[in-house]
Amino acid sequence: MKKAIRRAYITKGFVLSLIGFLAVEKGDGDMRIVYDATKSGLNEVIWAHFGLHNAASILHMAGAESYFGDLDLGEMFLN
């Protein structure tokens, strides 16, 4: 929880919208924040699709001039 407060993800102040959250222990001395968007109605108005490609489909799309990269977005999601 201290990490989220230090990064100003959780602060005191005027609230525009509410979303529930809870802390879940993750290892020794660490925690993960779990957000519950069901209570705010957010799940009903947002649609997301995170399809994963397999190796065959990626190779089918690749060409001689294709470039691939890898992004570590863990900090973006409080991991």
Asked whether residue 55 is domain-assigned, the answer is yes
Asked whether residue 17 is domain-assigned, the answer is yes
Alpha carbons 60 and 64: distance in angstroms, whole number: 11
26 is in which domain, residue-wise?
2-68
Asked whether residue 78 is domain-assigned, the answer is no
Asked whether residue 74 is domain-assigned, the answer is no
Alpha carbons 40 and 37: distance in angstroms, whole number: 6
Structure token pair of residue 44: 């009903």
Give the pLDDT of residue 46: 77
Give the pLDDT of residue 29: 79
Q: Tell me the per-residue pLDDT of 27-71, one tens digit each, with 9 for 90 and over.
A: 887 878 888 877 777 777 877 777 777 888 888 888 888 888 877
Give the pLDDT of residue 75: 65
Asked whether residue 73 is domain-assigned, the answer is no
Helix (H) or strand (E) holding 59: helix 55-61
Asked whether residue 38 is domain-assigned, the answer is yes
Asked whether residue 79 is domain-assigned, the answer is no
What's the structural domain count of the chain? Answer: 1
pLDDT (average), residues 4-30? 81
Taking 60 as the threshold, does the pLDDT of residue 3 lie above it?
A: yes
Tally of CA atoms within 13 A in the half-sphere of 31 that contains its CB: 13
Asked whether residue 62 is domain-assigned, the answer is yes
